[in-house]
Structure 1
């Protein structure tokens, strides 16, 4: 939990000083008693201060306050070399309001064989996901699986896509709904401390949200959540990223990058470099060999093996968890407080 309360320090008055009695103590006490009976007490007016007291702001830290988690988000997309002119078939969106949310959809290229543009489905799915963020049900639940259900139901394009949606609650909990092999990892202090597993029917055939009734739905999504800390880094991407880059390379680039935008670009460019390198033993080629896919037996005799990167669209989203101090409302104007919360989050995000 992130909330924390700030209270003014308690102060106590010092004990009265003790003065030594003099020989005339009884006489002085009698005179004071007589004066108090004969005349009303007189109060000395305080001397004017050279520094008048400063009026506290309504949102002074001395009032109750809480910490809320927000995301600073950087993105980068590099299309498949042969699809650069059309922008590729990946689509994504990112939004830093109310904590933060991002999503990636990887259009299934097999639809091109049926004269269907695979990019249309993934792009409409992401556009609908972004539009439904303001839905009243989503405002309350902050549930990525519900967002996926609504976005899929509203998508009319023919096609299919793997998809991942992640939403950060203000308490620091990241909620995830994923169908297929888009990936997500959480890096904390230079270590990968969380990673989701891909869903597939068989090798190179992942689960996918589809326009066809036989495809997967939001109910087939892998749903999970992870509690994050300030400073945690989230790296998410289409399979074009994770098929071509190893965890240690991701951690190294994150540690060397000055911000999330630079990190997203560097990761995408390294994945693209590996994807076209026929001598690079990529995560994809290693996984293929472990599943029984390899060069013919006669090439094995000569010492050859299945190797190389996998050319694909590459989408990368890098997000860093940050916190902002938000004053708690104490019976004041709720709308005013809400506006200040959103403003604080916007400042943090734009700082990158």
Structure 2
């Protein structure tokens, strides 16, 4: 099931009523002029395509996106090996993402993706495991990332990949994973990094089913040809799906397998054969674009109110209608 959302924060409108006639004007304690500043926000598009054999159940990937603060998104890829133990691999990844959304505004989290992962993992009771990535954009334009395993993220600026996360793995095709078992990894094992972003930067994140089946240049090409983040996410997911079922496509996955010493039997090599083909899997793609919005700065507006509000008013907080949270199940 695909879900998509785009965030647009508009500055609040200040309405000042005219005083009734023949009454003296009351001197306002608040200055009529408000400073304005630019804040970074994300416009986010998403698309999920389940493994062909898991289409009826929705696959084992899960994700959520939110317009909280500058913007937040996360992906969890349920480890399919649990199916061999009669455990639904989707339950763990879905619950992990649901708790990530729930704890997003927890004071202890304090807009830290690694702490959010800690809280969400501790609250997850389903049996299973998952690779996961969580990314949060500060209003200052700093993207904070915490990932465990091989869900990935790339930042594209002016037609070039200027940042990529690195997968964590025990060995080929066995990534680090958050687990219900004590032997699994925890938030302490997460790869944590920050990236300074600029207006117009594009963020492309996905499960391994996406990055195993598509090359960077293809990502850049699709991004450049797409009119928006929703269209880009869908086009990228569909291209990766097309490659994943192509037995003759020399995919990033097959190239990596050969580099690790995995290949066809030697007698086939004599005939010129080699290990090629896409990798069928659940494919989740999130595309986000960094935008700047003008926000009226209310800092210090209530200082003359004494004990009324020591911290001052919130800065252009989005209304309920402007907040759209989406959990893919």
2 CA distance for matches of 1:263 and 1:179? Answer: 25
Where does residue 234 of structure 1 map in the other structure?
Answer: 203
1 CA distance for matches of 2:136 and 2:45? Answer: 15
Moved over 6 A (4+): none
State the Cα distance separating 1:312 from its structure 2 match: 0.1
Name the count of aligned residue pairs: 289
1 CA distance for matches of 2:84 and 2:98? Answer: 25
| Corresponding position: 1:338 with 2:314 | yes
Where does residue 136 of structure 1 map in the other structure?
Answer: 107
| Corresponding position: 1:90 with 2:61 | yes
Where does residue 52 of structure 2 map in the other structure?
Answer: 81
Relative to the length of structure 1, the TM-score reads 0.79
Q: 1:81 to 1:69 in 2, by over 3 A?
A: same
After TM superposition, the structure 1 = structure 2 runs for residues 185-204 of structure 1, keeping only pairs within 5 Å, are 185-204=154-173
2 CA distance for matches of 1:69 and 1:88? Answer: 33
State the Cα distance separating 1:226 from its structure 2 match: 0.3
SS in 1 for 2:108: helix
State the Cα distance separating 1:64 from its structure 2 match: 1.7
State the Cα distance separating 1:255 from its structure 2 match: 0.3
SS in 1 for 2:318: helix
State the Cα distance separating 1:243 from its structure 2 match: 0.2
2 CA distance for matches of 1:59 and 1:244? Answer: 57
SS in 2 for 1:133: helix
| Corresponding position: 1:209 with 2:178 | yes
SS in 2 for 1:198: coil
Q: Is the 8 A contact 1:95 1:102 kept in 2?
A: yes
State the Cα distance separating 1:331 from its structure 2 match: 3.1
2 CA distance for matches of 1:59 and 1:341? Answer: 20
Structure ranking higher in helix proportion = 1
2 CA distance for matches of 1:330 and 1:250? Answer: 41
1:207-231 deviations in whole A, cap 9, x for unaligned?
A: 0000000000000000000000000
Greater relative contact order (CA < 8 Å, ≥ 6 in sequence): 2
- Give the gaps of 5 or more residues in structure 1: 1-57
Aligned CA RMSD, in angstroms, stands at 2.2
Relative to the length of structure 2, the TM-score reads 0.84
Q: Is the 8 A contact 2:151 2:167 kept in 1?
A: yes
1:46-88 deviations in whole A, cap 9, x for unaligned?
A: xxxxxxxxxxxx998x632211110000000000000000000
After TM superposition, the structure 1 = structure 2 runs for residues 1-352 of structure 1, keeping only pairs within 5 Å, are 63-138=34-109, 141-332=110-301, 338=314, 340-343=316-319, 346=322
Structure whose CA Rg is larger: 1
2 CA distance for matches of 1:247 and 1:112? Answer: 32
- Give the gaps of 5 or more residues in structure 2: 1-29, 303-308
Q: 1:90 to 1:336 in 2, by over 3 A?
A: same
Q: Is the 8 A contact 2:146 2:191 kept in 1?
A: yes
2 CA distance for matches of 1:344 and 1:134? Answer: 14
SS in 1 for 2:213: coil
State the Cα distance separating 1:305 from its structure 2 match: 0.2
Q: 1:323 to 1:246 in 2, by over 3 A?
A: same
1:238-293 deviations in whole A, cap 9, x for unaligned?
A: 00000000000000000000000000000000000000000000000000000000
Q: Is the 8 A contact 1:97 1:346 kept in 2?
A: no
1:102-126 deviations in whole A, cap 9, x for unaligned?
A: 0000000000000000000000000
